[in-house]
Structure 1
Amino acid sequence: MLEVRDLHLQYGGIQAVKGISFDVRCGELVALIGANGAGKTSTLKALARMLPQATGRVTLNPPGEAAIDLMRLPAHELIAAGVALVPEGRGVFARQTVLENLKLGAFRVKDRRLVHERLENLLERLPRLKERATQLAGTLSGGEQQMLAIARALMSAPRLLLLDEPSMGLAPIMVDRIFELITNARDSGVSILLVEQNARLALKVSKRAYVLESGRITLSGDSAELLQDDRVRAAYLGEAVNASISS
């Protein structure tokens, strides 16, 4: 679904992303893990065309359709191509209601009946949001706002969902609910690229993973295998093993 080749990103004199390459297959959840400052969020922003100075080849490959060169698209055209981003910090519209936020997720959909069907489906699956449908988004808890941000992205029926740190700052019970929503989206056929600092959680829910360190991918492979890798366990899981990730 997503093919990234030789992605570079520079801020002034700082090289944040140093020629990384990776893939996300159709219907697959892939994790991108790493420490703070590794370049994870920069990578997602580059893919979402929020940082147009990024260079490289980024291709969306919907099954049975022509490939789409995402690097040629401005950010506002990504939704039409089938790409949705849930940014770090949630980014809900605080002074609008839950219902209004969700409808904004489908702003490009002209068929109002289809929008209504998607809305009803999501609210049935997310009773907490349904209960708060007329409540201002800014008055929700952090976990509820994260749930709303993901649900709003799903309203566009994305082919590829980009998730940036969905568990950040949330209580464990809300993290479980958020990741249930994410895995349900994957099971429905949405391809997902997950950036997550909670490496253990990311590796448990993903099929494959890439480890990003100082703007470079240093490890990649099956998530279950990486979860047992001494280098990953030492650097990201807080386990006392005599290993480190080499560059």
Structure 2
Amino acid sequence: MSKLRLDNKKVIVTGGADGIGKAICKVFADEGAKVIVADINQNLGKETVDQINQNNPNASKYIQTDISSESSIQALMEQSLNFLGGLDIVVNNAVAFVFGKVEDVTKEDWEKVFNTNLIGAANLSASALPHLKQSSTPAIVNIASVGGFKASPGFIPYQASKAALIQLTKGLALDLSEYGIRVNCVCPGSIYTSATDRHIKFEGSDKESHLKNVAKSNLIRRIGTPEEVAYAALFLASDEASFITGTQIVVDGGLTIH
């Protein structure tokens, strides 16, 4: 039997209850990791943990977390360490979306998106630092987006936050290299999640035509799956990527080739 790629690794995944985060939690647990599913949605979080633990008994625990709250991050760290007994990997995946033109986006919208997508990731990384320093193979993986470098209409706060998250990845890689902590990010393109349905509703289009347009926009001619992003995150979190830091893997079916 081949060695599990994250055997006995201790992991926190934010936004782990649904979509890409859920896929990451499942894939990591299947590869031997012990995983904290951190998410604000209690029902989905517990459901995800139940599914993981059916295949991998006691491999995961749900902790309700508002990543935009510093006190919630502190509670997350305390409870995570009690369950995990240490920390090797942090995956910053929690995300907030606001759809609309710039004139329709409020100050509260901007704060919601940046506090979740950027500042929450920075605060959790800082909170995790003392514990990551004690790991022999520490890593941080941020889930950014091709929206961080390719603009689309109606996504201004989201795209700006993801551009900043890509730059945060590079800055953290520089600052944390002295501790042996690798920091990378994954930039997904069009991936089918519950956010896709919200986007379709915002556009006022029907699902079939939306998915056809997405398929035409990339070289693989289909929309991606959360699992395809999860396997990119798995590689960056694993020892296979031990000589990789400060960069990103783009998972977009060739959307941004030009």
The TM tier, using the shorter chain, reads 0.3 to 0.5
Structure possessing the higher relative contact order (Cα contacts under 8 Å, 6 or more residues apart): 1
Structure 1 or 2: more helix by fraction: 2
Please, what TM-score do these two structures have when normalized by structure 2?
0.31
Please, what TM-score do these two structures have when normalized by structure 1?
0.32
